[in-house]
Amino acid sequence: MSSGAYGRDEANGLWVYLEERQGRLEGVSLELLGKGRELADLLGVPLTALLVGYALGDLPNEAVAAGADVVLVADHPALQAYTTEPFTRVVASVVNERRPEALLLGATPNGRDLAGRLAVRLRTGLTADCTGLSVDPERRLLLGEVVGFGGGIVATIVCPERRPQMATVRPGIFPRPERRRGRRGEIVPVPVRLDPRDTRVRVLERSVGEEVDLTRATAIVAVGRGMRGELALAERLASLLGAEIGGTRVAADLGWIERSRQIGQTGVVTRPRLAVCCGVSGAIHFMVGVEAADCIVAINTDPDAAIFEQADYAVVEDAFAVLPHLIEALSETKVRATP
C-alpha cells in the first residue's frame, strides 16, 4: 500500500471543518462541534475547528461557544466564495502541517465536493455520508456508520492506517450543542498560500436563498404520492401544528414540494417530535429520513403499506377524509408541537 501524507504515530487531535454560509455557521457544522466535543473527550484530545473563508467576523467565537478548544482561521479575500481547489489547497496545507488524527465535515453539497477532492490529495480514507460516528479510543479509530442500498444495510467503516481519518456526516443526525458564551478557546490565524492553478474555476453568479431546514423542524407533515399534489389540507394541519411540510422523493420529483423539503436517503434526515405521513407508502429510502421521529403517524388507504409497520399510529383511511376532522379536533385544543 502506498502511504498517506503522514502516519498514525504522528497524528494527533480531532478536527471539525466548519462550513460558513451567508455569514453563519452551517447547522451541520454546529452539530459536528457537539459530537466532536464528545468524541474528542473520549480520545483525550483537543477539539479543533477549521474555518475557511473571508471576513468571518464572530464565527470563531461561536465555534468556541459550541465546543471547540482551538479554532484555526484561514481568512482571505480569495476564499470569499467556495470553490474546490483553493479550499482544498488551504485545508490540505494546514492538515499536513498540524496532522490531525481525524477530520469531520458536513455532508452538504460543498462539504462533499471538498471532502472527495481532499481525501485523494491527502491519499487517505473518507467515509462518506455517515449517519453515526463513534471512536475506539484504544485503537484510536474513528468508526463511521453508513447506510447503503436504500437504507436497508448499515456498514461500519474504518480507516486503519492512513491519516487523517476523514468522514462526512449528514445534517440532522446529531443535536446542536448548547452554546456556552463563557467558554474559553484559542483562535489561531493560519496562513493562506494559493497556487495560480487553484483559481481555474470562477463563480460567475450565486443565488442562495433562505431555504427551509427540515432537520430543525419540531413537527413534520410529510406527503407522498397518495396526496396527488393536493396539499391544502396537509398545509393547514402543518400550520396548526407549527410543523413544516416535507415529502417523499416522488413528491419532490413531481414538483409538489421544493427539493429542500425532500425527506430520506437522497433528501434530508429529520428528527422531529412528530411526523404525520399522509399518502406515504413507507419505502425504506423515505423511512431513513423519519425514523428518528419520536412519534410517527401514518395515514394511507393501502392496508398493506410498509409504513404501517413503522408507525406509532396507523390509520387505514383516505387522508382526504381524515385530515379535515383531525384539523378540527386539534383546533379545539389549539395545540402546537412541543419544541
Partner 1 sequence: MKVVPMPEEVRVNEETMTLDRANARSFINPPDMNALELALQLRERHGGVVTVLSMGPPFFERYLRLTLCAGADRVVLLSDRAFGGADTLGTSRTLAAGIEKIGGFDLVLCGEESSDGATAQVPPGIAEWLDLPQVTYALSVDIDLPNRRLSARREVKGGHERLLAPLPAVVSVKQGINEPRFIDWSLKPWADSVDRVTVWSAQDLEVPLEEVGTAGSATVVAGVSQSPTRERRRERLTGDPARIARELAERLRPFLFGPERGP
Site for partner 1 in 89-108 (CB under 8 A): 108
Chosen residue from 211, 232, 239, 302 binding partner 1 by CB under 8 A = 211
Chosen residue from 5, 187, 194, 284 binding partner 1 by CB under 8 A = 284
Between 188 and 329, name the residue whose CB sits nearer to partner 1: 329
Chosen residue from 1, 44, 77, 196 binding partner 1 by CB under 8 A = 1
User: What residues contact residue 58 under an 8 Å CB cut-off, 6+ apart?
Assistant: none
Chosen residue from 72, 115, 263, 280 binding partner 1 by CB under 8 A = 115
Q: What's the rounded Cα separation, in Å, for the pair 246 and 299? A: 15
Instruction: Give the count of beta carbons closer than 10 Å to the beta carbon of residue 299.
Output: 26
Burial of 219 (0-12, 13-18, 19+ CB in 10 A): buried
Are residues 101 and 12 in contact, defined by beta-carbon separation less than 8 angstroms? yes
* Binding segment toward partner 1, per CB under 8 A, in 1-9, 33-41, 71-79, 185-193: 1-9
Least Cβ distance, residue 98 to partner 1 (angstroms): 20
Between 64 and 323, name the residue whose CB sits nearer to partner 1: 323
Between 188 and 321, name the residue whose CB sits nearer to partner 1: 321
Cα dist from 293 to 34, 215, 218, 272, 285, whole Å: 20, 11, 9, 5, 15
Chosen residue from 29, 215, 265, 270 binding partner 1 by CB under 8 A = 265
Place of cell 416535507: 246
Examine residue 239 and tell whether it contacts partner 1 (CB under 8 A).
Answer: no
Examine residue 109 and tell whether it contacts partner 1 (CB under 8 A).
Answer: yes
Site for partner 1 in 304-323 (CB under 8 A): 308-318, 321-322
Site for partner 1 in 285-304 (CB under 8 A): 291, 294-297
132-136/141-148 β-pairing: antiparallel
Chosen residue from 157, 176, 179, 194 binding partner 1 by CB under 8 A = 157
Examine residue 207 and tell whether it contacts partner 1 (CB under 8 A).
Answer: yes
Chosen residue from 42, 55, 120, 188 binding partner 1 by CB under 8 A = 120
Handedness of CA 271, 276, 278, 281 (dihedral sign): positive
Least Cβ distance, residue 183 to partner 1 (angstroms): 26
Q: What's the rounded Cα separation, in Å, for the pair 278 and 58? A: 42
User: What residues contact residue 77 under an 8 Å CB cut-off, 6+ apart?
Assistant: 54
Chosen residue from 60, 151, 177, 264 binding partner 1 by CB under 8 A = 151
User: What is the enclosing helix (H) or strand (E) of 218?
Assistant: none
Bin 178: left if φ > 0, else alpha if -120 < ψ < 50, else beta: beta
Site for partner 1 in 127-146 (CB under 8 A): 127-129, 143
* Binding segment toward partner 1, per CB under 8 A, in 9-17, 30-38, 41-49, 201-209: 201-209
* Binding segment toward partner 1, per CB under 8 A, in 6-14, 95-103, 126-134, 178-186: 126-134
Q: What's the rounded Cα separation, in Å, for the pair 233 and 331? A: 13
Between 31 and 69, name the residue whose CB sits nearer to partner 1: 31
Size of the site for partner 1 (CB under 8 A): 101
Query: Which pairs from 145-150 meet CB under 8 Å and 24+ separation?
Result: 147/265, 147/288, 150/265, 150/283, 150/284, 150/285, 150/288
Q: What's the rounded Cα separation, in Å, for the pair 210 and 63? A: 22
Site string for partner 1, 160-199 (x = CB under 8 A): xxx----------------------------------x--
Q: Cα–chain-centroid distance for residue 138? A: 28
